[in-house]
């Protein structure tokens, strides 16, 4: 990853709950950034068998972050190092000074003009180092550096893991503008799709006005407002005896068979091309309905997170890819593209087909 600049250095204070899990405050500008050096230490283990290495494990242990900045203000010094200000406004650092851990965010400029954004979730800093020199024949700026230890956060993400860093590049596939524009509004929280919990089902017409996250559409339907719907889709509309996948052990075909019979609204949740050979679907929104729909109606399904489901989905012959499409309401959305003929050969998805007569229109991304 080549970069040519760094700026927008922020920190966020951490409040720990009784269970030790972090809650992050609003990001605060730390200083003007000059340099950031991050080194990582791993816990490593290698298992040898049959005269060779069989398994190699490298787990994150800790990291060291060294920041070069133009200056550290009084407020940041108190928050990061535990220093205090006396009655005369003098900053006092003591042997007992112990700063609380904070989250650190910054961005790096790439040669193409795009930025790569970072958050380090838990960094514990010490007192800044100061280098001073007398003024000579030439002027040399002396700037402080502050060093911190990077550790994983205590709060697990939705997959039960403990992240220590997140990073994203502006303009990469699947990165929505809202992620970039909100990077310094709050400390970013990882999103891995719908969780398989039993909850009320949101009907398709309610999702029509909601904003999708991830690669399945980033814009709401024009002129629509989200609706609160607590009733599940009417079971009378579906014959559950008919929901029998061609390959019962395959979670992907199973999911598409059920989705085809859930009553998803065509031209809102999915669309076809003119000859109905290709299916364009807002899959993350459909999957958010699929799991509670199954649990609420006692339909057997494989318990996968959305990320796990996507990994399986992308290995199938009927998977084509992702692209942007213009819908009848005039909104351009990112969707997943499926070879509907191949999908139909593997499972019963006839429920997707309705005579709307409105083909999807391709646009330039």
What is the pLDDT at residue 212? Answer: 37
For residue 19, being part of any structural domain is answered with yes
Assess whether 22 and 158 both reside in one domain.
yes
For residue 35, being part of any structural domain is answered with yes
Assess whether 158 and 231 both reside in one domain.
no
Assess whether 169 and 208 both reside in one domain.
no
How many structural domains are present in the chain? 2
Assess whether 169 and 41 both reside in one domain.
yes
- 52-78 pLDDT, tens digit per residue, is 776 777 777 788 888 887 777 888 888
For residue 197, being part of any structural domain is answered with no
How far apart are alpha carbons 296 and 253 in whole angstroms?
Answer: 20
For residue 187, being part of any structural domain is answered with no
> What global pTM score does this model have?
0.48
Assess whether 287 and 209 both reside in one domain.
yes
Assess whether 117 and 253 both reside in one domain.
no
For residue 186, being part of any structural domain is answered with no
Assess whether 90 and 212 both reside in one domain.
no
Assess whether 85 and 211 both reside in one domain.
no
Kindly state the tokens that stand for 348: 């019963």
How far apart are alpha carbons 207 and 89 in whole angstroms?
Answer: 55
User: Considering 146, 181, 216, which residue would you say is the last residue of a domain?
Assistant: 181
What is the pLDDT at residue 322? Answer: 86
- 120-147 pLDDT, tens digit per residue, is 999 998 776 666 555 656 555 556 788 8
How far apart are alpha carbons 262 and 92 in whole angstroms?
Answer: 65
For residue 55, being part of any structural domain is answered with yes
Strand-strand pairing, 270-272 and 278-281:
antiparallel
How far apart are alpha carbons 7 and 35 in whole angstroms?
Answer: 9
Assess whether 217 and 143 both reside in one domain.
no
Assess whether 123 and 250 both reside in one domain.
no
Largest pairwise CA distance in the chain: 89
What is the pLDDT at residue 44? Answer: 75
Domain that holds residue 217: 204-362
What is the pLDDT at residue 342? Answer: 92
CB contact set of 316 (below 8 Å; sequence gap of 6+):
252, 346
For residue 188, being part of any structural domain is answered with no
For residue 286, being part of any structural domain is answered with yes
How far apart are alpha carbons 117 and 235 in whole angstroms?
Answer: 46
What is the pLDDT at residue 281? Answer: 92
Q: pLDDT below 50 — which residues of the chain? A: 194-248, 356-365
């Amino acid at each position: 990853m080549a970069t040519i600049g760094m700026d927008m250095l922020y920190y966020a204070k951490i409040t720990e709950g009784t269970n030790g899990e972090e809650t992050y405050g609003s990001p605060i500008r730390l200083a003007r950034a000059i340099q950031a050096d991050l080194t990582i230490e791993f816990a490593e283990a290698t298992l040898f068998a049959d005269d060779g290495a069989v398994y190699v494990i490298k787990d994150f242990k800790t990291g060291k972050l060294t920041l070069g900045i133009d200056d550290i203000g009084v407020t940041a010094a108190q928050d990061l190092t535990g220093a205090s200000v006396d009655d005369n406004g003098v900053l006092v650092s003591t042997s007992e000074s112990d700063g609380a851990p904070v989250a650190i965010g910054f961005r790096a400029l790439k040669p193409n003009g795009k930025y790569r954004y970072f958050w380090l979730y838990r960094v514990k800093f010490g007192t800044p180092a100061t280098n001073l020199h007398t003024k000579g024949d030439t002027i040399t700026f002396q700037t402080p550096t502050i060093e911190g230890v990077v550790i994983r956060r205590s709060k697990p993400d939705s997959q039960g893991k403990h992240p220590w860093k997140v990073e994203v590049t502006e303009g990469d596939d699947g990165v929505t503008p809202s992620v970039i524009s909100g990077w310094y509004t709050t400390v970013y929280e990882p999103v891995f799709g719908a969780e398989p919990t039993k909850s009320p089902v949101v009907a398709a017409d309610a999702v029509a006005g909601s904003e999708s996250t991830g690669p399945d559409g980033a814009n709401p339907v024009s002129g629509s407002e989200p609706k609160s719907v607590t009733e599940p889709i009417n079971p009378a509309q579906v014959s559950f005896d008919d929901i029998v996948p061609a390959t019962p052990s395959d979670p992907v075909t199973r999911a598409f068979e059920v989705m085809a019979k859930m009553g998803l609204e065509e031209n809102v949740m999915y669309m076809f091309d003119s000859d109905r050979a290709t299916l364009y679907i807002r899959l993350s929104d459909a999957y958010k309905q699929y799991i509670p729909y199954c649990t609420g109606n006692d339909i057997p399904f494989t318990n996968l997170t959305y990320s796990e489901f996507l990994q399986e989905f992308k290995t199938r012959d009927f998977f084509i890819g992702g692209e942007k499409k213009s819908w009848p309401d005039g909104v351009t959305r990112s969707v997943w593209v499926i070879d509907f003929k191949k999908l139909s050969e593997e499972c019963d998805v006839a429920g997707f087909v309705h005579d709307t007569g409105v083909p999807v229109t391709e646009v330039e991304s």
